[in-house]
């Protein structure tokens, strides 16, 4: 076949790639040709392969580890255990409570116990199988609802409570004319990024190590690696390798320290790359949750009080459970005005797989409860399900349940109106079984199929909360090379697929007026960018790039003012030229800069947030809120319990879309993940064992499962954020699942208090 | 074992191949062609899709030895001297690429579809790509990309 015209601007969709225009990814071509180097693609002369031996038990004492046999396998270059960790044998995002390699106790199935390096991955795996670990199996605490009982065995010496967040607002013990309540259970979801955990560690001549790894936050990785290696940061240089999706699952360490340990021991580059099964053990999951909610309301549906208990299973180590509890508590009643509130959110330790960050972070679980309850309330008072939400929805200037004033747009009612106004799909076409539940399984030709419609709305904090010093750093350089002005942007912000590299280019083009912008690989040779999570990078790293560009621009114009002997005011950069107040060209950038480069580095911080009161949970915990609403339409075969999602439409306020096309892409993908949790995605854990660690048994939405999506993007600029942006990535994952669950309830008429919804829940057998 | 196979039109030789190695491992780790991706190595995700004698296969499910004497085309072989394959170009333009880990498998599969069915309907596109998982896009823009490539291909 022949190539087509490559000038996308011919299609009329693309502008010059500035802020607010649809811009193409700078890495798009490399990704479609297979040339983009993901972490699992890395290769080095002379490299060896590292593998991890993991615990088969959820709880056991290690009596003895014998590595002699493994060491005799030809091709093996190193076998390491806890004794070989030179620094502190501990890591963790919020608390360093997790051993790099288990020393005396294993606390979950899949906990790393030993490492092997060999010249072929299969050799390494076989050698690992010959390590003899003598375990004394201990009773495992696997029911989080028992974790805080008096007689529950402590998973850690300090007990099983990771965090309890109480929220008390208004009058306690209130009553109301209308009372509805619900108990909801949410299963454990996996991020299921497609690119496996991988990295390449290269020993350096200075005795340090260079690590190339797929991750979300280079500097926090570096801090933890240094602790374990007992090395200063200048000896541990971390560079972002190509990331095949993240969704929270790469916030904690995986191969990082292990690969470095093996590289330093063998003196050779070491590559580690998990298979899919190991990946299920190798990263944290979304917390399973048990939620008990009660709403009291006036006869017209106006909320009077809410009482809620949220229990999150944190698994064996803390990871980010504390912050997830913070969200599940402070945001856990949804985007509603509720004057009297009693909430208790708990995160506990068990011997289940560790849980931590995943897209939506604590709000996802809570939304299934508050949205189910809003439907119950609507039915109880005889008000339409959209109207009940409109009536109680937060508006700008309202206080939320922690007493924080919502100081920019809070368009709950408008989002609902917009999504409700979108065209509905036509009735099921029973002549085409591909369009029906069960599809080519040929389970129905329309008999027993009922249609249901469900709505949900949410809000989510953007950026790190509760007083965290949340900032990013950007270094921007401007120079003229080969007669063309080129801006170079350097940050440590992780591009994980979301399109931050494009955003950085767009901001630099906008601020500096240049067309050529190079985003160099993210690494630790520049200051921290914070995490690629909490929907924060466009806001915070975007703010840093904007600030650094502004500083570069000022420096260049100052030079021009001196050279031209004119006042600085009124000068601006336009393309390759410096222009005056009337737009007249005064001089060229090449003349101003010559062979010099102007480089500036800036940090950007969003407005400070504050810790909440430990007794009442009150306080200005968050810096920004992002709102979205979904409407799901489903056809359900109520006899077999099969669901076909027919439409999944949404409206979201994004503040300002830097790259509208990419914003819509985020909304599509986020919606798919929420739908997945509602209907199919669950890491099934029984007695502390993961039962389905594969893509055969952990079901992800395919292209056949996803319906067409109509997306309405609203842009109510946040006056406090750079360009008015509002975080985009997470809200869709929060509101889509509850909308799907509501639609299935609507179709089958059953309460459905557990997600993912299984066929037997729908049929009731 | 020695494996001699034609990859993207060039004969390739690999020595000391362990009999348990997959075609995917051979391509990625021995022949320097990491374009086909390793997301499940169990035939579930389609990220490793390549053509074997013109048929799309999951390279993770094919033993390296099975490729002896046969012809393999990987994503690296899709684009030619005159630029990107129309499907690749459409993926870039339609915003069908986020993390891109699914992309090589999808463009191989979609190019196969368009070679067989020049104007596929939406259900046909969905059917053809049902074995390719994408975790980032929700598939909407992947559909857009395939429609775009098909419409350009249909142009006289
Ligand atoms: S890697 Fe081959 S199908 Fe997933
Ligand atoms: S773009 Fe990330 S898996 Fe498809």
Ordered structural domains, chain B, with CATH: 3-76 (3.10.20.30), 86-154 (1.10.150.120)
Average pLDDT over residues A483-504: 97
Cβ contact (<8 Å) for B99 and A702?
A: no
Cβ contact (<8 Å) for B138 and A195?
A: no
Q: Closest partner residue to B130 among A6, A247, A702, by Cβ?
A: A702
Report the distance separating Cα A523 and Cα A237, nearest Å.
7
CATH 3.50.50.60 for the A289-465+611-763 domain, yes or no: no
Mutate to test the interface with A, among B28, B74, B95 (most CBs of A within 10 A): B95
With bands split at pLDDT 50, 70 and 90, how would you rate the model's confidence at A114? very high
The per-residue pLDDT for A576 is 87
Average pLDDT over residues A474-482: 96
Q: Do A547 and A605 meet the contact criterion of CB atoms below 8 Å apart?
A: no
- Residues ≥6 apart with Cβ < 8 Å to A181: A292, A293, A294, A295, A373
| Cβ-based contacts of A247 with chain B (< 8 Å) | 135
The per-residue pLDDT for A11 is 39
The per-residue pLDDT for A9 is 34
CA of A669 to the centre of ligand 2 (A): 9
CA of A408 to the centre of ligand 1 (A): 45
Q: Closest partner residue to A245 among B78, B95, B135, by Cβ?
A: B135
Residues B54-108: tens digit of each pLDDT: 999 999 999 999 999 999 999 999 988 889 999 999 999 999 999 999 999 999 9
CA-nearest residue to B82 within chain A is A3
Tokens 């189910």 -> residue: A372
The per-residue pLDDT for A765 is 84
Which ligand 2 atom is at minimum distance from the Cα of A194? Answer: 3
DSSP letters spanning A373-410: HHHHHHHHHT--HHHHHHHHB--TT-B-TTS-B--S--
Tokens 């609802």 -> residue: A145
**pLDDT at A550 exceeding the cut of 50:** yes
- What is the distance in angstroms between the Cα of A468 and the nearest Cα belonging to chain B? 28
The per-residue pLDDT for B154 is 74
- Residues ≥6 apart with Cβ < 8 Å to B51: B57, B72, B73, B74, B108, B112
Candidates A29, A12, A37; CA nearest to B84 is: A29
Average pLDDT over residues A476-481: 96
Cβ contact (<8 Å) for B93 and A432?
A: no
CA-nearest residue to A37 within chain B is B34
**pLDDT at A516 exceeding the cut of 70:** yes
Nearest CA to ligand 2 atom 3: B134
**pLDDT at A742 exceeding the cut of 70:** yes
CA-nearest residue to A26 within chain B is B92
CA of A725 to the centre of ligand 2 (A): 24
Q: Verify whether ligand 1 is closer than 6 Å to residue B131 (CB atom).
A: no
Mutate to test the interface with B, among A8, A33, A36 (most CBs of B within 10 A): A33
Cβ contact (<8 Å) for A276 and B101?
A: no
Q: Verify whether ligand 1 is closer than 6 Å to residue B58 (CB atom).
A: yes
Q: What is the CATH number of domain A40-138+200-243+250-282?
A: 3.90.1170.50
Report the distance separating Cα A682 and Cα A676, nearest Å.
9
Whole-angstrom CA distances from A318 to A97, A252, A322, A352, A355 are 7, 11, 7, 12, 8
Report the distance separating Cα A559 and Cα A547, nearest Å.
19
The per-residue pLDDT for A7 is 36
Cβ contact (<8 Å) for B98 and A245?
A: yes
- Which of B40, B57, B62, B74 to probe ligand 1 with, by most ligand atoms within 8 A of CB? B40
| Cβ-based contacts of B107 with chain A (< 8 Å) | 32
| Cβ-based contacts of A701 with chain B (< 8 Å) | 138
- What is the distance in angstroms between the Cα of A368 and the nearest Cα belonging to chain B? 21
Indicate the angle between helix axes B86-94 and B140-154, nearest 10 degrees. Answer: 140
CA-nearest residue to B129 within chain A is A703
Average pLDDT over residues A401-427: 98
Report the distance separating Cα B72 and Cα B51, nearest Å.
6
Nearest-ligand number for the alpha carbon of A38: 2
Average pLDDT over residues A424-439: 92
Residues A153-206: tens digit of each pLDDT: 999 999 999 999 999 999 999 999 999 999 999 999 999 999 999 999 999 999
Helices and strands (DSSP H and E) totals, chain A: 16, 31
Candidates B147, B152, B113; CA nearest to B130 is: B113
Which ligand 1 atom is at minimum distance from the Cα of B59? Answer: 2
Chain centre distance of CA A367: 17
A132 or A12: which leads in pLDDT: A132
Q: Tabulate helix, strand, coil % of chain B (nearest 5).
A: 40, 15, 45
The per-residue pLDDT for A5 is 34
Report the distance separating Cα A585 and Cα A737, nearest Å.
55
- Which helix (H) or strand (E) segment holds residue A754: the answer is strand A754-755
Half-sphere exposure of A407 (CA within 13 A, CB side): 11
Q: Verify whether ligand 1 is closer than 6 Å to residue B133 (CB atom).
A: no
Q: Do A245 and A497 meet the contact criterion of CB atoms below 8 Å apart?
A: yes
**Across-strand partners of A133?**
A65
Q: Closest partner residue to A668 among B39, B78, B140, by Cβ?
A: B140
**For chain B, how many residues are written?**
156
Whole-angstrom CA distances from A375 to A27, A295, A368 are 44, 11, 11
The per-residue pLDDT for A559 is 96
The per-residue pLDDT for A16 is 83
Across A293-309, b (16+ Cβ under 10 Å) vs e yields bbbbbeeebbbbbbbbb
The per-residue pLDDT for A608 is 97
With bands split at pLDDT 50, 70 and 90, how would you rate the model's confidence at A2? very low
The per-residue pLDDT for A135 is 98
- Residues ≥6 apart with Cβ < 8 Å to A71: A79, A127
CA of B34 to the centre of ligand 1 (A): 13
Which ligand 1 atom is at minimum distance from the Cα of B61? Answer: 2
CATH class of A471-605: alpha beta
Average pLDDT over residues A423-435: 92
What's the whole-model pTM score? 0.97
Average pLDDT over residues A89-117: 97
Report the distance separating Cα A725 and Cα A647, nearest Å.
28
| Cβ-based contacts of A665 with chain B (< 8 Å) | 95, 98, 136-137, 141
**pLDDT at B156 exceeding the cut of 60:** no
With bands split at pLDDT 50, 70 and 90, how would you rate the model's confidence at A565? very high
**Across-strand partners of A137?**
A60
Report the distance separating Cα A697 and Cα A685, nearest Å.
12
Q: Closest partner residue to B97 among A28, A41, A243, by Cβ?
A: A28
The per-residue pLDDT for A15 is 65
**pLDDT at A208 exceeding the cut of 50:** yes
Cβ contact (<8 Å) for B101 and A38?
A: yes
Whole-angstrom CA distances from A525 to A205, A222, A453, A492 are 18, 11, 51, 8
| Cβ-based contacts of A695 with chain B (< 8 Å) | 39-40, 42, 44-45, 133
The per-residue pLDDT for A10 is 36
With bands split at pLDDT 50, 70 and 90, how would you rate the model's confidence at A1? very low
Q: Verify whether ligand 1 is closer than 6 Å to residue B60 (CB atom).
A: yes
The per-residue pLDDT for A471 is 98
Whole-angstrom CA distances from A611 to A309, A404, A439 are 21, 12, 51
Give this complex's ipTM: 0.98
Q: Verify whether ligand 1 is closer than 6 Å to residue B38 (CB atom).
A: yes
The per-residue pLDDT for B155 is 65
Q: Closest partner residue to A244 among B101, B129, B131, by Cβ?
A: B101
CB pairs under 8 A between A and B: 201
**pLDDT at A303 exceeding the cut of 80:** yes
Q: Residues with beta carbon inside 6 Å of ligand 2? A: A 194, 245, 497; B 97-102, 134-137
Report the distance separating Cα A238 and Cα A523, nearest Å.
6
Query: Encoding tokens for residue A275?
Result: 């298979």
Average pLDDT over residues A333-351: 98
CA-nearest residue to B102 within chain A is A194
CA of A244 to the centre of ligand 2 (A): 7
- Which helix (H) or strand (E) segment holds residue A280: the answer is helix A276-282
Q: Tabulate helix, strand, coil % of chain A (nearest 5).
A: 25, 25, 45
Residues A224-234: tens digit of each pLDDT: 999 999 999 99
Pairing state between β A161-169 and A132-137:
unpaired
Cβ contact (<8 Å) for A33 and B84?
A: yes
The per-residue pLDDT for A401 is 98
CA of A341 to the centre of ligand 2 (A): 41
Cβ contact (<8 Å) for B89 and A6?
A: yes
The per-residue pLDDT for B96 is 98
Average pLDDT over residues A317-329: 98
Give percent of chain A with pLDDT exceeding 90.
95
A679: cis peptide before it, omega within 30°?
Answer: no
Candidates A301, A293, A298; CA nearest to A391 is: A301
Least confident of A345-359, A572-586, A716-730, B30-44: A572-586
Average pLDDT over residues A49-58: 98
CA of B33 to the centre of ligand 2 (A): 19
CA-nearest residue to B24 within chain A is A41
What are the domain boundaries of chain A? Answer: 40-138+200-243+250-282, 289-465+611-763, 471-605
Q: A40-138+200-243+250-282 and A289-465+611-763: same fold?
A: no
**pLDDT at A575 exceeding the cut of 90:** no
**pLDDT at A12 exceeding the cut of 60:** no
């Amino acid at each position: 076949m022949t190539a087509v015209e490559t000038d996308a601007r011919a299609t009329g969709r693309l502008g010059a790639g500035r802020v607010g225009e649809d811009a193409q990814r700078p890495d798009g071509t490399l990704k479609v040709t297979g040339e983009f180097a993901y972490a699992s693609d890395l290769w080095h002369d002379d490299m060896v392969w590292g593998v991890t031996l993991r615990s088969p038990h959820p709880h056991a004492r290690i009596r003895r580890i014998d590595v002699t046999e493994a060491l005799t396998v030809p091709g093996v270059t190193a076998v390491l255990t806890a004794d070989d960790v030179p620094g502190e044998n501990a890591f963790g995002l919020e608390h360093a409570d997790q051993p790099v390699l288990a020393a005396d106790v294993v606390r979950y199935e899949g906990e790393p116990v030993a490492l092997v390096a060999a010249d072929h991955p299969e050799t390494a795996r076989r050698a690992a199988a010959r390590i003899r670990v003598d375990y004394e199996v201990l009773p495992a605490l696997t029911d989080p609802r028992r974790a805080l009982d008096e007689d529950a065995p402590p998973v850690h010496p300090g007990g099983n409570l990771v965090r309890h967040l109480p929220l008390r607002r208004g009058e306690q013990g209130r009553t109301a004319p209308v009372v509805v309540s619900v108990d909801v259970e949410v299963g454990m979801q996996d991020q299921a990024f497609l690119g496996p955990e991988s990295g390449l560690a290269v020993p350096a001549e200075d005795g340090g190590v260079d690590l190339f790894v797929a991750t979300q936050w280079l500097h926090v990785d570096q801090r933890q690696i240094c602790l374990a290696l007992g090395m200063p940061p200048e000896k541990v240089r971390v560079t972002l390798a190509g990331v095949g999706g993240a969704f929270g699952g790469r916030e904690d360490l995986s191969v990082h320290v292990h690969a470095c340990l093996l590289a330093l021991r063998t003196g050779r580059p070491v590559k580690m790359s998990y298979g899919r099964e190991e990946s299920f053990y190798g990263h944290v999951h979304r917390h399973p949750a048990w939620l008990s909610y009660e709403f009291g309301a006036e006869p017209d549906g106006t909320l009077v009080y809410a009482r809620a208990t949220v229990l999150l299973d944190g698994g064996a180590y803390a990871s980010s459970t504390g912050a997830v509890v913070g969200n599940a508590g402070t945001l856990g009643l949804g985007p509603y005005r509720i004057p009297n509130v009693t909430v208790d959110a708990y995160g506990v330790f068990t011997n289940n797989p560790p849980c931590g960050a995943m897209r939506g972070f604590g709000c996802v679980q809570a939304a299934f409860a508050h949205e189910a309850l809003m439907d119950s309330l609507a039915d109880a008072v005889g008000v339409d399900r959209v109207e009940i939400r409109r009536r109680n929805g937060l508006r700008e200037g309202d206080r939320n349940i922690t007493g924080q004033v919502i100081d920019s747009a809070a368009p709950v009612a408008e989002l609902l109106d917009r999504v409700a106004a979108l065209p509905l799909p036509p009735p099921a076409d029973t002549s085409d079984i591909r369009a029906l539940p069960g599809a080519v399984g040929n389970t129905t030709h329309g008999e027993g199929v009922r249609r249901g419609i469900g709505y949900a709305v949410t809000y989510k904090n953007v950026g790190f909360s509760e007083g965290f010093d949340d900032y990013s750093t950007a270094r921007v350089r401007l120079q003229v090379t080969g007669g063309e002005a080129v801006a170079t942007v350097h940050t440590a912000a992780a591009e994980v697929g979301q399109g931050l590299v494009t955003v950085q280019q767009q901001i630099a083009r906008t601020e500096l007026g240049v067309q050529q912008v190079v985003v160099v690989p993210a690494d630790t040779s520049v200051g921290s960018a914070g995490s690629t999570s909490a929907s924060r990078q466009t806001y915070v790293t975007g703010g840093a790039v904007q600030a650094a560009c502004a500083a570069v621009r000022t420096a260049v114009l100052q030079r021009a003012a001196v050279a031209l002997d004119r006042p600085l005011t009124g000068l601006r950069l336009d393309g390759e030229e410096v222009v005056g107040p009337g737009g007249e060209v005064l001089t060229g950038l090449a003349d101003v800069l010559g062979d010099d480069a102007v480089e500036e580095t800036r940090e950007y911080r969003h407005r400070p947030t504050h810790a909440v009161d430990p007794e009442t949970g009150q306080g200005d915990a968050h810096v920004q809120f992002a709102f979205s609403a979904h409407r799901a339409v489903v056809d359900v075969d109520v006899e077999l319990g099969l669901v076909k999602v027919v439409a999944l439409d949404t409206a979201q306020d994004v503040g300002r879309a830097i790259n509208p096309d990419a914003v819509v892409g985020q909304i599509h993908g986020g919606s798919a993940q929420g739908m997945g949790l509602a209907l199919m995605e669950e890491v099934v854990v029984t007695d502390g064992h993961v039962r389905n660690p594969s893509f055969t048994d952990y079901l992800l939405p395919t292209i056949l499962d996803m319906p067409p999506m109509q997306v309405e993007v609203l842009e109510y600029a946040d006056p406090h954020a750079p360009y008015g942006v509002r975080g985009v990535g997470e809200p869709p994952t929060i509101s889509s699942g509850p909308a799907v669950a509501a639609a299935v309830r609507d179709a089958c008429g059953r309460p459905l208090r557990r997600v993912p919804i299984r066929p037997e829940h729908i049929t009731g057998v | 074992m020695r494996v001699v196979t034609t990859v993207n039109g060039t004969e390739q030789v690999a020595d000391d191949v362990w009999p348990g190695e997959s075609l995917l491992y051979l391509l990625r780790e021995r022949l320097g062609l990491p374009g086909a991706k390793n997301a499940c190595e169990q035939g579930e995700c389609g990220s490793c899709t390549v053509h074997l004698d013109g048929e799309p296969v999951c390279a993770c499910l094919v033993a390296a030895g099975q490729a002896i004497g046969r012809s393999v085309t990987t994503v690296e072989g899709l684009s030619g001297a005159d630029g990107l394959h129309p499907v690749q170009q459409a993926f870039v333009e339609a915003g069908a690429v986020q993390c891109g880990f699914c992309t090589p498998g999808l463009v191989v599969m979609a190019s196969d579809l368009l070679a067989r069915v020049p104007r596929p309907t939406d259900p046909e596109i969905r059917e053809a790509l049902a074995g390719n998982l994408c975790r980032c896009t929700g598939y909407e823009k992947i559909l857009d990309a395939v429609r775009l490539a098909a419409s350009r291909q249909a142009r006289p």
